[in-house]
Amino acid sequence: MNRFVITAALLALGSTAALAQSPAGDPAKGANVFKKCMACHAVGEGAKNKVGPELNGIVDRKMGAVEGFNYSDTLKEHNAKGDVWTAEVLSKYLENPKAYMPGIKMVFAGLPKETDRADLLAYLSGFNADGTKK
């Protein structure tokens, strides 16, 4: 009986950790939301920096870390501190970028709907740093 309880608890903890690491959104819907971002950002194999940096591997990546992109002083400061784009931070940022992080260059007004942000993060979480799908 005790082994069963311990095993069940470990499985539950593992499931909780997995949920905390991946946004609970719909990647297919997130691909549609990403259309709002495509004028400035790219994702996937062969993605290049545009007006904004490419977003491959953005979730859990160090802020201001894309090679060859000229970041705002604000993001350079976050980079120097070692700050990371967690799913939670990205969601707050994407809700209203300029309010969340004054001094950034991004002019996008934001995604006020939590479901849009969750879907977008689920979509972006599906890309490795090299642009390949996970």
Q: Is residue 43 part of a domain?
A: yes
Q: Is residue 99 part of a domain?
A: yes
Q: Is residue 20 part of a domain?
A: no
Q: Is residue 61 part of a domain?
A: yes
Task: Determine the pLDDT at residue 24.
Answer: 87
Beta-bridge partner residues of 61: 85
Q: Is residue 8 part of a domain?
A: no
- State which residues form the domain around 38: 27-126
Q: Is residue 18 part of a domain?
A: no
CA distance 63 to 77: 9
Question: Model-level pTM?
Answer: 0.81
**In three state form, how does the secondary structure of the chain look?**
CHHHHHHHHHHHHHHHHHHHHCCCCCHHHHHHHHHHCCCCCCCCCCCCCCCCCCCCCCCCEECCCCCCCCCCHHHHHHHHHCCEECHHHHHHHHHCHHHHCCCCCCCCCCCCCHHHHHHHHHHHCCECCCCCEC
Name, in order, each residue with C-beta under 8 angstroms of 36's C-beta and a sequence gap of 6 or more.
Answer: 108, 111
Lowest mean pLDDT among 22-26, 98-102, 124-128: 22-26
Q: Is residue 3 part of a domain?
A: no
Overall number of domains in the chain: 1
Q: What CATH number corresponds to the domain at position 53?
A: 1.10.760.10
Residue pLDDT, tens place only, 81-111: 999 999 999 999 999 999 999 999 999 999 9
Q: Is residue 75 part of a domain?
A: yes
Whether the predicted pLDDT of 68 surpasses 50: yes
Percent of the chain having pLDDT more than 90? 82
**65, two tokens:** 């870390």
